[in-house]
Amino acid sequence: MKGQSAFVQRVHTPSFNLQSLSVVAHAAWARLVRWQMLHRQRQHLAALSDEMLKDIGRSRADVEAEVSRPFWDDPLRRR
């Protein structure tokens, strides 16, 4: 069993530093802000009159479908 210590595997532990934590925190904050913006836009869309919706080429059914989506359902987010 001589020399077996050379076969000990090293376990890589990820190193966390302040910069990587800052990047993660910034991304989380940006996502929260985006979700809040989506919620507000959907609420404003729901408040439009039928005439205004007709002007932009949308129906009340279109609006109801959009407003019923969950706040995290972002149509611009890549999947």
For the chain, percent of residues with pLDDT exceeding 70: 78
pLDDT of residue 55: 96
For residue range 26-46, what is the model confidence (pLDDT) as tens digits?
Answer: 999 999 999 999 999 999 999
pLDDT of residue 17: 80
Helix H, strand E, coil C: the string for 16-69 is: CCHHHHHHHHHHHHHHHHHHHHHHHHHHHHHCCCHHHHHHCCCCHHHHHHHHCC
Q: Is the pTM of this model over 0.75?
A: no
pLDDT of residue 77: 85
Alpha-carbon distances, residue 1 vs 4, 5, 8, 9, 59 (angstroms) = 6, 9, 13, 16, 79
Please give the mean pLDDT across all residues of the chain: 87
Length of the chain, in residues: 79
